Homo-oligomer: A and B are copies of this chain.
Amino acid sequence: MRIAFIGLGQMGAPMARNLLKGGHSLAVFDLVAANVAAAVAAGAQSAASVREAVSRAELVITMLPSSPQVRAVYLGEDGVLAGAAPGVPLVDSSTIDPHTAREVAAAAAAGGNPMADAPVSGGTGGAQAGTLTFMVGATAALFDRIKPVLALMGRNIVHCGPSGTGQTAKICNNLLLGISMIGVAEAMNLGHALGIDPKVLAGVINSSSGRCWSSDTYNPFPGVMADVPAARGYSGGFATHLMAKDLGLATEAARQAKQTVPLGALAQQLYQMASAKGLGGKDFSAIIDLLGSAP
């Protein structure tokens, strides 16, 4: 299949490579020349603009930093909607707010292009290994149509419901994740300060009602687990400033929907504060350093 792939950053680049490995033909576009060059070296064809990239595509996939870029790439004068042939399906894997996702999808539909929001989880590691989770907001027909292609990049392809629900699932999961991680950090710090061995405490929690991914798979307290950011000075992983961004999307969506998310709003502030204190580029489990006593 001829696929147009727009956005070849840390996530997009390995995703595109997995499509090439799967035997598809790729026309790519990115503002950074080096990103394009790397994709071309892997077998992709370079396009001079978004419009050109999508003009002969049978499927369009985008992976962009945030809502303004998604609007520009899709709705701009030389954008996806201007260039894609009618009927060609569009898939946006960026993490953006559900409101914008639905707006862009509506504009696409008006032009005859079915569109899915399909944000991912799993990080750069999952992108490289092709083991991402895709949370897809689309009609059932569109979901069935794009699932085989997404399956080349991910292991878990979930249909969340109509347009926008992929983004909704993503920000709701990350809202909870951002809260849980701080909860684990508070519990581990407090236990340590009160004299319990952190590994013992983690063991109790992991077999009890405090059990969560942030505790049993990604524990933020140094020395409790190997192969997690806490074991390597919080390098790698999911950056604190990106968690602050995702919680911003969640709290802003809650505000518009008149929902109350007090812990989410406070968590957003704490990741923001951590970013301002120089932890923005560290993995988000480094939030434990903002709170206190970790050794």
Most buried by B among A186, A195, A208: A186
B195 lies within 8 A of A168 (CB):
yes
Stretch of A56-64, A84-92, A143-151, A154-162 lying at the B interface: A154-162
Q: In the assembled complex, how far is the CB of residue A99 from the closest CB belonging to chain B, in whole angstroms?
A: 9
Residue A229 is within 8 A (CB to CB) of chain B in the complex: no
A255-B252, A270-B262, A272-B255 as given contacts; A175 in contact with B196, CB under 8 Å:
no
Residues of B within 8 A of A275 (CB): 258
Q: How far is the CB of A250 from chain B (nearest CB, A)?
A: 7
Q: Are B176 and A205 in contact (CB under 8 A)?
A: yes
Q: A253-B190, A272-B258 are in contact. Are A200 and B156 (CB under 8 A)?
A: no
Q: Across the interface, which residues of B come within 8 angstroms of A273, CB to CB?
A: 260, 262, 290-292
Give the interface size class of chain A: 35 or more
User: Which of these, B161, B197, B290, contacts A161 with CB under 8 Å?
Assistant: B197
Q: Are A269 and B262 in contact (CB under 8 A)?
A: yes
Q: Using Cβ atoms and an 8 Å threshold, which residues of chain B touch A158?
A: 200, 203-204
Is the C-beta of A10 less than 8 angstroms from some C-beta in chain B? no
Flag whether A98 is at the interface (Cβ < 8 A): yes
Given contacts A168-B196, A169-B191, is CB(A292)–CB(B135) below 8 Å?
A: no
The answer to whether A174 has its CB under 8 Å from any CB of chain B is yes
A-B interface, 10 closest residue pairs, ranked by CB to CB distance from nearest: A212-B212, A179-B183, A176-B210, A173-B210, A176-B187, A193-B257, A262-B269, A172-B187, A172-B191, A186-B261
